[in-house]
Every structure is written in structure tokens, then in C-alpha cells.
């Protein structure tokens, strides 16, 4: 009984998203507003962990969704999820911003992250991680944090962690496997609750 219910819900959500995205492409402000409500929090979290400055993060968030609005036409659903598309826009904007405003603190490996981190003060709650990632082993957690929340490339991140690139890649792979397990478990629990209801 549980499966049809889950798929039904999932399908409805997907349809909603597809519908909203189509409206967004047709320059519907309401669609932008609803998609913003859904994804802005996740995107803001990524941006703020990268720039470590609330004001700048807010500007970049607004800029990101402005681009989402302007370039909605170029989003191709067959190539990936809407969230992934927005995430990439936010990541690129933030990295470009960091390269522009802080070119002098770039290190030899072109990383813009590993210096001066301590110099910028920000409320620690913005840097904290939540959810399933907190259950991962420390090095798995760190690997995901660097590439996903800090905007580092794999090449930059393995240097940061001081492990070979191959090892780092397997960290990421392992971490994703663990997350998959955790999310499936969460879903099962959710389904159990739904089933019970």
C-alpha cells in the first residue's frame, strides 16, 4: 500500500515543479516567487558558507534568482534538475565574486578559500551543517562540505584535506552512498508514518 502513495506524492510534486518552471519561462512572477520559496533557503545556505558574509550572500542570492528569471528559457529539464541548475548559477556567481573582490589572497593553487577564512567573522550558525551529513564520518563529511558548501573543486579540495585526488574522490563517493542510505531510511520512516496514517 505504501508504494503507490509515495509515487503519487512524488509525481504531484514533480508535476508542480515542471508546471512552475514552464510558467517561469513564460515570465510569471508568481512562479518565480514559489520556486524561490522552495529553493532560496538551500541556495542561500551554500552561498553564505562560501562568502561567509551575510550582506554579500544576500546580494548574491538576489543576483542568482535574477539570473534564474532572465535565463529561465535556457534551463533544459532533460539535462538535470532545476535545483541543480540554480545551484550551479549560484556557485559560479559566488566564485566569480570572490575572485573579483579578493584576487590578492589567491594562493598558488588558485584556491580562493583557504586563506583569510579566520579573518572574516560570521555567526557560526550559518556555517553549521544539519541533517544526514552530520551522521557521516568526519573525513566524508569534510569532503562533501568542501565541494558542495565551500565551492572548491575536487582538485582544490584534496589539497586542502591533504590526501591524494583518487582518495578524495572515493571519500565523496562513499559519503554519497552513506547519504543515500540515510535518505532511504528517512523515506522509509516517512512512508511508515504515511502508511500508518
Partner 1 sequence: MMDKKTILDNGLLEQYLLGELNAQECEQIEQVLASDTELKAQFDAIEKDFETLGLENAIEPPKGIKYQLIQDIREAKDTKNNKNNTNLKYYLGIAAAIAALLMLGNFWMYNELNVVKDQLQTVETEKTELNDKLNNLNKQIDEEIALFSTIAHPDTEQYVLKGNTLMPDGKVVSYVNHSTKSVVINTERLPKLDAEHDYQMWADVEGEMINMGVIAKDQNLMAMNYIDHAESLNITIEPAGGNDHPTVSQLVSNVYLN
Given candidates 56, 65, 72, 111, which one binds partner 1 under the rule CB under 8 A?
A: 65
Query: Taking CB under 8 A as the rule, does residue 91 contact partner 1?
Result: yes
DSSP 145: I
CA dist 113 and 110 (Å) reads 9
CA dist 192 and 31 (Å) reads 32
Q: Look-up: residue for cell 556557485?
A: 91
Q: Nearest approach, Cβ of 131 to partner 1 (angstroms)?
A: 3
CB nearer partner 1, residue 22 or residue 92: 92
Query: Taking CB under 8 A as the rule, does residue 176 contact partner 1?
Result: yes
Given candidates 9, 71, 88, 116, which one binds partner 1 under the rule CB under 8 A?
A: 88
Q: Nearest approach, Cβ of 180 to partner 1 (angstroms)?
A: 6
Spatial neighbors of 167 by CB under 8 A, at least 6 apart, are: 158
Instruction: Check: CB of residue 170 under 8 Å from CB of residue 152.
Output: no
Instruction: Check: CB of residue 51 under 8 Å from CB of residue 57.
Output: yes
CA dist 197 and 189 (Å) reads 12
Query: Taking CB under 8 A as the rule, does residue 83 contact partner 1?
Result: yes
Binding site for partner 1 (CB under 8 A): 29, 32-33, 36-37, 40-46, 48, 58, 61-62, 65-66, 69, 78-81, 83-84, 87-88, 91-92, 126, 129-133, 144, 147-149, 153-154, 169, 172-173, 176, 179-180, 183
Amino acid at each position: 500500500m505504501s508504494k503507490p502513495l509515495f509515487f503519487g506524492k512524488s509525481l504531484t510534486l514533480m508535476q508542480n515543479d515542471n508546471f512552475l518552471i514552464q510558467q517561469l519561462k513564460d515570465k510569471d512572477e508568481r512562479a518565480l516567487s514559489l520556486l524561490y520559496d522552495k529553493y532560496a533557503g538551500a541556495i542561500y545556505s551554500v552561498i553564505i558558507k562560501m562568502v561567509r558574509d551575510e550582506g554579500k550572500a544576500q546580494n548574491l542570492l538576489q543576483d542568482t534568482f535574477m539570473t534564474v528569471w532572465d535565463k529561465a528559457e535556457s534551463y533544459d529539464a532533460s539535462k538535470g534538475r532545476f535545483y541543480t541548475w540554480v545551484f550551479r548559477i549560484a556557485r559560479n556567481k559566488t566564485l566569480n565574486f570572490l575572485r573579483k573582490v579578493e584576487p590578492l589572497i589567491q594562493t598558488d593553487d588558485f584556491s580562493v578559500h583557504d586563506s583569510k577564512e579566520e579573518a572574516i567573522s560570521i555567526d557560526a550558525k550559518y556555517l553549521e551543517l544539519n541533517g544526514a551529513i552530520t551522521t557521516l564520518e568526519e573525513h566524508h563529511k569534510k569532503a562533501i562540505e568542501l565541494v558542495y558548501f565551500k565551492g572548491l573543486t575536487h582538485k582544490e579540495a584534496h589539497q586542502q584535506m591533504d590526501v591524494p585526488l583518487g582518495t578524495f574522490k572515493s571519500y565523496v563517493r562513499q559519503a554519497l552512498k552513506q547519504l543515500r542510505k540515510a535518505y532511504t531510511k528517512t523515506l522509509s520512516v516517512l512512508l511508515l508514518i504515511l502508511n500508518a496514517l
